Structure 1
């Protein structure tokens, strides 16, 4: 008969569904008093990944930190869509990048690509500069910080812009609602305010044949798609049931 693991039992009692896995990860991260401090914070409800300092994403360990948006498995769909047909030596930009997990995954797979990332949250930018070359991570609102010489040359724009309607944030899991900056979650009334601004500015930056990929929910996908149709892009919706991911892909043909 196996002796119960006290750490696993503590985590399970606190509601951690994958208590065995979490216990192993926490023990790998620390020992002694430092481990106990992490365990107490986890039991108090802090998300696991910021406690560890990293999150698994698309085969990478990307740096994360308290307060920033932790990349979700569903966003790996955007990496797959981005890499599908990405030209050689492409300019790729991740907007609303958070810790730049998508950009990092693209760069790791396609080192020939010139990958940039932008976010308005200075805390997220600071962390993202651990996941990409620091000079390629820019702080500012959407397209504003991008170098002017990229205008009209971008083969790929990818964005996990916040898309939770403001009045639905209260119903999100505590790990997001209480521990991630609201700017990374709040999509405004209806959830599509930031997406609409991404769509409105994309044609100025995309190269002919360039693509824009926006994460969305299955429910919101038709409305997200309409934002890109309004910009004259050829649009399709991509759905991944296994990862519960949805994105909209728009292709810019020459005007």
Structure 2
């Protein structure tokens, strides 16, 4: 029998991660150490991270809004800046809200909102994505809350019974212009699905489609919340207005987050 590899020390892992360009090498090393149950598994996890796999894909989870969200390989990793959108959504939600997470990826946004609202009563949670891998991953996160995940292209995935009933519609639609995909960090452009990143020529193709159909699905007084960039926000807001919603733009400088919120009057 071959001997097991020696357990990598924290300093040794930090050194390897730093050499690979990991900015938060110390924090990542501690997470990898805590997640690995054998020296072999630790060595494999460190190697996967060193070659560029996103930390969340290596660990199998991401921390988001204080929750541990399962994230499978090939699934979009929830960003910390999106926590600003969640705070805005929770502040707007009414007790017993119907919450829908479009372009859901791992389902992190819907899970975060539903978890935050759980103290106010039952939340009806739905999530949808066009990517089969995302749907499988989202079900692992959404099902424990009693939610349902649907596969399909935007609103086509949703049950017709939701039409006109949605109180909070979350949509982290892709908004990176096609020509700028190559400027993204390798972790994103090489390991996350292109459909979750590429927003078309000006980055707004999917956002326009979401905005155009939202009013049909929102309840009176319901809100659509969509993350975008500060540069694109006026155009996103214009798309909301064309779709029959009253838009406003909010932001958080600390998180570099910009969100457009539209209400169905």
Large movers: runs of 4+ above 3 Å: none
Match of 1:225 in 2: 237
Match of 1:117 in 2: 127
2:227 aligned with 1:215, yes or no? yes
Match of 2:257 in 1: 245
- Measure, in 2, the Cα distance between the counterparts of 1:24 and 1:172: 26
- Measure, in 2, the Cα distance between the counterparts of 1:42 and 1:114: 37
Partner-residue secondary structure (3-state), 1:248: strand
Match of 1:147 in 2: 159
5+ long unaligned stretches in structure 2: 1-8
Shift of 1:172: 0.6
Shift of 1:201: 0.5
Instruction: Report if aligned partners of 2:166, 2:218 keep a CA contact under 8 Å in 1.
Output: yes
2:65 aligned with 1:58, yes or no? yes
Query: After superposition, what is the alpha-carbon deviation per residue over 1:98-121, rounded to whole angstroms, capped at 9, x for unaligned?
Result: 001000001111132111100000
Instruction: Report if aligned partners of 2:135, 2:149 keep a CA contact under 8 Å in 1.
Output: yes
Shift of 1:140: 0.5
Match of 2:5 in 1: none
Match of 1:96 in 2: 103
Match of 2:17 in 1: 11
Shift of 1:235: 1.1
2:55 aligned with 1:48, yes or no? yes
Partner-residue secondary structure (3-state), 1:132: helix
Partner-residue secondary structure (3-state), 2:92: coil
2:95 aligned with 1:83, yes or no? no
- Measure, in 2, the Cα distance between the counterparts of 1:80 and 1:16: 29
Match of 2:6 in 1: none
2:194 aligned with 1:182, yes or no? yes
Moved more, 127-136 or 17-26: 127-136
Shift of 1:85: 2.6
- Measure, in 1, the Cα distance between the counterparts of 2:24 and 2:226: 30
Partner-residue secondary structure (3-state), 1:62: strand
Shift of 1:231: 2.0
Query: After superposition, what is the alpha-carbon deviation per residue over 1:123-175, rounded to whole angstroms, capped at 9, x for unaligned?
Result: 01100011101761111100112111111111111100001011110111000
Which of 185, 190, 203 aligns to 1:173? It is: 185
2:105 aligned with 1:68, yes or no? no
- Measure, in 2, the Cα distance between the counterparts of 1:109 and 1:4: 35
Instruction: Report if aligned partners of 2:10, 2:33 keep a CA contact under 8 Å in 1.
Output: no
- Measure, in 2, the Cα distance between the counterparts of 1:151 and 1:5: 55
Aligned length: 251
- TM-score, with normalisation over the residues of structure 2? 0.92
